[in-house]
Amino acid sequence: MLCCCVVVCWLRMEEAAKRWVVKLSKWDPHPSDFSFALSLLPSHEHSSVTRFVKLEDRKRALVSRMLQYVLVHNVLQIPFPDIVIKRTLEGKPYLDYDGLRFPNFNFNVSHHGDYVAIASEPVCLVGVDIVSYDVPRGETITEFIQLFSSYFSCMEWDNIVTAGTSDDVLIEFYRYWSLKEAYVKAIGSGLTEGLNKVEFSHTRWTDISAKVNGKVMTQWRFWLFELGDRHCVSIARVHPISAATSYKRTLKKVDFTEDEYTEGLHLPNVDFVQLGIEQLISTLQKA
């Protein structure tokens, strides 16, 4: 039976474990509306949006930035002008702020196809990755997935190519790929080398576990969710000590007691909440 102080601490930590997703096709902004939404972000973030030519790419970049600022404000109650989000050389975002309510608060974002997602954690590192089950153009599904065969273990590859129809094979491929990307993004390495040594096992895409060189990764937790409309999203959660060197330098705390870490690792993985872009705009406007 858990004591009251442990329950209270757990509930407080749960407040920092967020899973949000935005569906882009529900927003078809007039150019002036898009410009207004962009103006709500700090000026130094504008070029990260406007550098894209296609509107869909600009929408993904804009919503990704908006989600980051709204989530930090929502969880930590930091005034918008005081929120400073930086990125490592590998591109992983992190919050540059002292005196955090949750010393190791971190988040990760992903966008692909019609969705943009963000996930955060109070203790453990978090990685999130969305994939759209896009059918390749100009080549067969077999030709397409073969380009990535070196990133999978023999068992994973066998599960992919024997999944069923060509569409089943494609979906199986994307699910495994999403998990591997979430793994890389959690530690902030930006590297995909050696991913064939990270082998995922699952029971109908639940009870997901992983091994590295045959050894079970006990400090990791993984989840995969279907978003609908031929998209899925994966979540990875791991001990901060696993962070890549450049990312580890940004963390406020790496050495947790066993109890602190265990509480963080075993927090319930909350469901994704779908937000509207209008909600993000409204929150930013109130800054």
> Quick check: is 71 in a domain?
yes
Tell me how many domains the chain contains.
1
> Quick check: is 162 in a domain?
yes
CA 11/CA 136 separation, integer angstroms: 44
Within 8 A by CB and 6+ apart from 1, the residues are none
> Quick check: is 8 in a domain?
no
**At 66, which CATH number?**
3.90.470.20
Structure-derived torsion over alpha carbons of residues 152, 156, 160, 163, reported in degrees to the nearest 10: 180
> Quick check: is 4 in a domain?
no
Write out the chain's pLDDT in tens, 287 residues: 444 343 335 448 899 999 999 999 999 999 999 999 999 999 999 999 999 999 999 999 999 999 999 999 999 999 999 999 999 988 899 999 988 888 889 999 999 999 999 999 999 999 999 999 999 999 999 999 999 999 999 999 999 999 999 999 999 999 999 999 999 999 998 777 789 999 999 999 999 999 999 999 999 999 999 998 999 999 999 999 999 999 999 998 888 888 888 999 999 989 999 999 999 999 999 87
CA 276/CA 250 separation, integer angstroms: 31
Find out whether 215 and 197 touch, Cβ atoms under 8 Å.
Answer: no
CA 248/CA 100 separation, integer angstroms: 17
